[in-house]
Chain A
Amino acid sequence: MPANGRFSPVTGRYVTIDLEDPDLGGEYKVFFLENGEGRPLVCQHTAGCHNHQWRGLLEDPDITRSHRVIAYDLPRHGKSDPPNDREWWKEEYRLTADFFTKFVVALCDALELEDPIFMGSSFGGNVALQLAWRYPDRFGAVIPVEAADYSPGFFLDWWQHPHANAAQVCASGTWDLMAPQSPDQERWKTWFYYTQGSEAFRGDLSFYSVDHDLRDKLEEIDGERCPVIMMTGTYDYLTTPEMTAATAARIKGAEFIEMQDIGHFPMSENYPVFKGYLEQALQRIEERIGATVSGQR
């Protein structure tokens, strides 16, 4: 250990996977961060962002001693490139539920994860619901954070308007999604991440606000077969606690945890507060599907 440096236990790797999809298929080189041992906990960042939103969780020994935490960058985000074999620059990017769910399953297959818990926030929370509906046997449980059956209103051209500074529009346009109680240092890191993803943000929100619509499918999700533990912060104006509670109430076996004084990016804007609620969710999952698999990689 150098005298003036401190290494993190978190490591990063790339894995390349092939995906068949009529709209977005191709060869994808995917970057992920990981730390810990035990049951895999696969973490999806929010739209237009990247895996540093999970920085607090990735370095939390209280979680990583019993979970292999994996936080990846969705293709076109962070260090995960757009597809290697498509002329993607000639296409309008619009993320779909079909591609998003196929990608998550393909990544879990490539990493040979057994009974992983999938957790995502915002559009990651919505895709957690989609996974529970489409692939209930592939996941031990899902934790949809800041999610609902339907979340209209955020697929906006402002995110990419050529006459405005897209980086600042995306970052300051999502500022109000965080709670005023969250620490400035953490909120500004989240803001900073949002300056980096404006090209993907609008297309991500095509999934979030348009393609994702489970209003007439919630009864088909079996939350006893694949436990669904939903969590939403009181300062989330896109998917309010009331919206999440109403969604959870229609899913067989689902549970809802309301998080006080936190917003739409809870793991990133105020990890210590989020952690308390996450531990509740993991405890409930452990009670329902069995003890974590110690040491499994």
Chain B
Amino acid sequence: MPTPEAWAESFTEATNGDAEIGAHGKYYSCSYMLDMQERKLIVDMHRGRVENINLDVQPLDAYEFALRAPADTWRGMGEPVPKPMYHGIWAAAFRKNLSMEGDLLVLMQNLRCFTRQIEILRETGVPV
């Protein structure tokens, strides 16, 4: 398992260098929380690039939407080839224990790039 700091660095690098997000992320700007039970983090996206990853989330830190799931679910999603029902946020929400919360309109408005960015976890792994 990568350290949180090393993970944040590799996730930032992979996102900012990703061809698909680079080609289609001109308006991909939002902030979201990944709640992995053992660790929470907030990613701030600006025009298709990671602007900041907050690894020390405090009670009043703001974000627009959150994905929450137990650490094991995130580990499953972070496998290079995820097993069935760990292969995306919709699959994990319908058949596992991932929940989508907050302003889901923002998620839907950015669904293409966000879906691709979550798949980057298959390359970087997850920090839990």
Query: Do residues A153 and B94 form an inter-chain contact, with CB atoms below 8 A?
Result: yes
- Pairwise interchain contact B115-A175, C-beta atoms closer than 8 A: yes
Q: How many A-B residue pairs have CB under 8 A?
A: 53
Query: Is the pair B90, A173 in contact by a Cβ cutoff of 8 Å?
Result: yes
Does A168 contact B87, Cβ atoms closer than 8 Å?
no
Question: Is there a chain A Cβ closer than 8 Å to B91's Cβ?
Answer: yes
Smallest CB gap from B80: residue in A: A180
Is the CB of B105 closer than 8 A to any CB of chain A? yes
Mostly helix, strand, loop or mixed at chain B's interface? helix
Q: With an 8 A cutoff between CB atoms, is B52 at the interface?
A: no
Q: Secondary structure at chain A's binding surface: helix, strand, loop or mixed?
A: loop
Cβ < 8 Å to B, chain A residues 46-83: none
Chain A residues with CB under 8 A of B122:
180
Q: Give Cα A177 to B115, complex, Å.
A: 12
Cβ contact of B108, chosen from A161, A177, A181, cutoff 8 A: A161
Interface residues of A in 131-184 (CB under 8 A from B): 153, 158, 161, 163-165, 168-169, 171-173, 175-177, 179-181
How far, in Å, is A196 (CB) from chain B's closest CB?
15
- B82→A180 contact, CB < 8 A: yes
Interface size class of B (residues with CB under 8 A): 10 to 19
B47: Cβ under 8 A from any A Cβ = no
In the bound complex, CA of A164 to CA of B107 (Å):
9
Chain A residues with Cβ under 8 A from B104's Cβ?
158
Residues of chain B within 8 A (CB-CB) of A153 are 94
Asked whether any CB of chain A lies closer than 8 Å to the CB of B109, the reply is yes
Which residues 81-112 of B have a CB within 8 angstroms of A? 81-82, 84-85, 87-91, 94-95, 104-105, 108-109, 111-112
Whether A180 lies near B112 (C-beta < 8 A) is: no
Interface residue from B81, B87, B88, B109 paired with A163 (Cβ < 8 Å):
B109
With CB as the reference atom, state the residue of chain B lying closest to A188: B20
Residue from A168, A176, A177, A234 within 8 A of B89 (CB atoms): A176
- Kindly list chain A residues whose C-beta atoms are within 8 Å of the C-beta of B84: 179, 234-235, 237
A97 within 8 A of B: no
Q: What is the CA–CA distance of A234 and B82 in the complex, to the nearest angstrom?
A: 12
List, in ascending order, chain B residues with CB within 8 A of A169's CB: 108, 111
Contacting pair B109 A173 (CB below 8 A): no
Cβ of B38 to closest chain A Cβ, rounded Å: 24
Cβ-defined contact, A181 with B81, below 8 A: yes
Give A175 to B116 CA distance when docked, in angstroms: 10
Cross-chain contact of B94 among A158, A175, A180, A237 (Cβ < 8 A): A237
Complex-state Cα separation, A238 to B91, whole angstroms = 8
Contact A179 B87, beta carbon cutoff 8 Å: yes
Q: Is A240 an interface residue (CB 8 A)?
A: yes
Question: Distance (Å) between the CB of B47 and the closest chain A CB?
Answer: 17
Instruction: Point out the residue from B85, B109, B115 that lies within 8 Å of A237, measured CB to CB.
Output: B85
Least CB distance from B31 to A in Å reads 17
Is A173 touching B82 in the complex (CB atoms < 8 A)?
A: no
Once the chains bind, are B112 and A161 in contact (CB under 8 Å)? no
B81 CB contacts on chain A under 8 angstroms: 180-181
Nearest-neighbour CB distance to chain B for A160, whole angstroms, equals 11
Are B95 and A240 in contact, CB atoms less than 8 angstroms apart? yes
A14 to chain B, nearest CB (A): 33
The answer to whether B91 touches A176 (Cβ under 8 A) is: yes
Cβ of B81 to closest chain A Cβ, rounded Å:
5
Cβ-defined contact, A161 with B105, below 8 A: yes
- C-alpha spacing A168/B73, complex, angstroms: 26
Choice from A168, A177, A237, A240 contacting B112 with Cβ under 8 Å: A168
Residues of A within 8 A of B (CB): 153, 158, 161, 163-165, 168-169, 171-173, 175-177, 179-181, 234-235, 237-238, 240
Seen from chain B, the residues whose Cβ lies within 8 Å of a Cβ on chain A are 81-82, 84-85, 87-91, 94-95, 104-105, 108-109, 111-112, 115, 122
Q: Beyond the given A158-B108, A235-B91, A238-B94, could you list 10 further A-B residue pairs with CB under 8 A, ordered by the A residue number?
A: A161-B105, A164-B109, A172-B115, A176-B88, A176-B91, A179-B87, A235-B84, A237-B90, A237-B91, A240-B85
